[in-house]
Structure 1
Amino acid sequence: MTQQDSSRALRWALRLHPAAYRAEHEAELTAIYAQATQDAGPLGRLREALDVAGHGLRRRTGLGSDRTAGQVLAQAAPLAVGLATGGSVANLLWLVAPGIKTMPSSSLPSVLLLANQGLVPLVWLAVLAAVWSGRWTVARALVVPATVLRLADVPLLLLAHGFHGTDTGTVLNLTVPLLTGAVVLAAPRDLLGSSQPQRSALAGTTALAVLLVGAQLVNMYYPQPLGGPRTTHTLWAAALAVALLFSTRDRLPAAGLAVAVLPGALQATVPLLHPLTPAGAGALLLVLLSSAMPLLRARRRRARIAPPSAA
């Protein structure tokens, strides 16, 4: 990227800010960009321009660090990384488990799919390491190729299995990686860091994903007596329901967990709803009831602080 290209990229990034905010802070943002890119190469200047653009989009969408939505996303971002990493690692462990053969290995699409599914967890592990050490610029940069590789699974799966997949499964396989990537990239950068509580939560959510995805894969090929292969999918709904029950305005970590779990819960439970199975009905009821609890608590809180009406 030349200096001229860099200036053009910065101008476009500044245009993404609301007009009033840009008029007040354009000089400040330009000075910060110039300082950050003083000794940077082309990739460094592009990265800083993208950070400025992301800041503008967050201002436009109300996801700034001073808004509740932005604060919830900042809590959700590391947890989303942990869940994506744990899920991809569980999938890789399953692929290399003795006696498991989930796809023919002779065709080119199958070989490419296997290679891609081996590469995805490696990239997510690199993202996890960057988040663990607080290097969020590196982590967010790596999320982009991790998401692209995960999306590449869809056409490779269709080619490897002869286009026998369901439309719902295809849509979910595209939507879930995009939602996960969006959560990480949309979180306000100034709220992202590294702390011991965050690392503990990161380790916990990674382990949770390994357990849940691993249980699904094991139950798919070795069904347990309680309802067959789809029973373990409801565990994602249970995890989402627990997070929702504790997610109030004053409990940002729980709200962040609910946002982080949502993509995985969608992928696991939507197939249970059509045709509706008993497990699907239970999962849907569980999530709906737990979703209603924060609303009921908010109504009670407003009722307690409402001023008495005049006589």
Structure 2
Amino acid sequence: MTQQDSSRLLRWALRLHPAAYRAEHEAELSAIYAQATHGAGPLGRLREAFDVAGHGLRRRTGLGSDRMAGQVLAQAAPLAVAVAAGGSVANLLWLFVPGNKILPSSSLPGVLVLVNQGLMPLLWLAALAAVWTGRWTVARALVVPATLLRLVDLPLLLAALPAVPGAGVHPSVVLNLAVPLLTGGVILAAPRDLLGSPRSRHGAIAGVTALAVLLGAVQLFNVFHPVPLGGPRTAQALWAGVLAVALLGRRDRLFAAGLAVAVLPGVLQCTVPLLYPLSPVGAVALLLVLVSSAVALFRAHRRRARATPPSVA
């Protein structure tokens, strides 16, 4: 990358800022970029340009560090990595289910499934380790290929499995595309200046990772030993319970909101299939989400009302 290319990248990144903000801060942003890229190679200049572009997009979408939405995303980002890492590890257990026809397959799609299923946990665990040590640049760089691998997971599975006559487009197909994009979006959209080293959140990160692994294992166990009520998919509704607990948290509301955002992709992945057709377990999960969301919105509205001073007539 030449110096001219670097300047062109910076101009492109600056254009993503709101016009008024760009007019006021363009010189400052250019100076910060020049200082950060002094002596840096092409990858370093490209990374800084993307950071400037991301800052502009956050300003346009109201996700800056001075906004509540940006602060919630900063709380959610490390927990979203934990959920994805724990879920990808738990997903490996499904490959060893008795009668699984993908694991012993010698076909190219079957081999690609195995490679993909093995690489995803490695990437997410590496991202989790980077988050644990506060290396967010590395963590977010790893999230991109991990998300891409998750996106190609379903096509590879469909190619490896025998064709099912009469199979149509299922909601799970859409979910398997939307959920990884949502997870990656939460992590990449969080304001960089609020992320830092999450030492105070190490316990929460470890707990959420363990919870994701546990819920994945419970879902697998429930397939072979279903509980009497609801059948083999009952355990999927547990994610709705996690979301409800997060939404109803009272101590650290900012952290509770971040946890709710972090587990939302898992909730969608597990509970939406319970709604088509609507099963008793799906109805309970939907009720949990609706009631907890309504209570959380009511509390937020009441806090805003208390914080707003009465107008002078």
TM-score (norm 1): 0.93
* Greater shift in the superposed pair: 62-71 or 106-115: 106-115
Secondary structure in 2 aligned to 1:72? Answer: helix
Answer yes or no: is the 8 Å Cα contact 1:74–1:192 preserved in 2. Answer: yes
Report Cα offsets for 1:256-278 as digits up to 9, x if no partner.
Answer: 00000100000100000010000
| Structure 1 residues 69 and 305, CA gap change in structure 2 (3 angstroms) | closer
1:114 Cα deviation (Å)?
A: 1.1
1:184 to 177, 184, 187: 187
In structure 2, the residue matched to 1:91 is 91
Distance 2:37 2:309 in 1: 53
| Structure 1 residues 221 and 270, CA gap change in structure 2 (3 angstroms) | same
Report Cα offsets for 1:272-300 as digits up to 9, x if no partner.
Answer: 00100000000000110000112222344
Aligned pairs for 1:29-178 within 5 A: 29-96=29-96, 99=98, 101-103=100-102, 105-162=105-162, 164=164, 166-178=169-181
In structure 1, the residue matched to 2:291 is 289
Report Cα offsets for 1:195-251 as digits up to 9, x if no partner.
Answer: 332111110110010011111122224433332111000000000111111279x61
Distance 2:203 2:304 in 1: 34
Distance 1:236 1:3 in 2: 50
1:161 Cα deviation (Å)?
A: 1.9
1:157 Cα deviation (Å)?
A: 1.3
Q: CA RMSD in A?
A: 2.1
1:224 to 216, 223, 227: 227
1:111 Cα deviation (Å)?
A: 1.1
Answer yes or no: is the 8 Å Cα contact 1:247–1:294 preserved in 2. Answer: no
Aligned pairs for 1:251-262 within 5 A: 251-262=253-264
Answer yes or no: is the 8 Å Cα contact 1:9–1:49 preserved in 2. Answer: yes
Answer yes or no: is the 8 Å Cα contact 1:220–1:230 preserved in 2. Answer: yes
| Structure 1 residues 310 and 79, CA gap change in structure 2 (3 angstroms) | closer
| Structure 1 residues 152 and 94, CA gap change in structure 2 (3 angstroms) | same
Question: 1:279 and 2:281 equivalent?
Answer: yes
Distance 1:254 1:264 in 2: 16
Question: 1:201 and 2:204 equivalent?
Answer: yes
TM-score (norm 2): 0.93
Answer yes or no: is the 8 Å Cα contact 1:140–1:184 preserved in 2. Answer: yes
In structure 2, the residue matched to 1:263 is 265
* Greater shift in the superposed pair: 257-266 or 296-305: 296-305
Answer yes or no: is the 8 Å Cα contact 1:86–1:209 preserved in 2. Answer: yes
Q: Provide runs of 4+ in structure 1 moved above 3 Å.
A: 162-166, 298-311
Q: Which amino acid aligns with 2:238?
A: L
The unaligned stretches of length 5 or more in structure 2 are none
Aligned length in residues: 309
Q: Which amino acid aligns with 1:197?
A: S
Secondary structure in 1 aligned to 2:201? Answer: helix
In structure 2, the residue matched to 1:3 is 3
In structure 1, the residue matched to 2:239 is 236
Q: Which amino acid aligns with 1:75?
A: Q
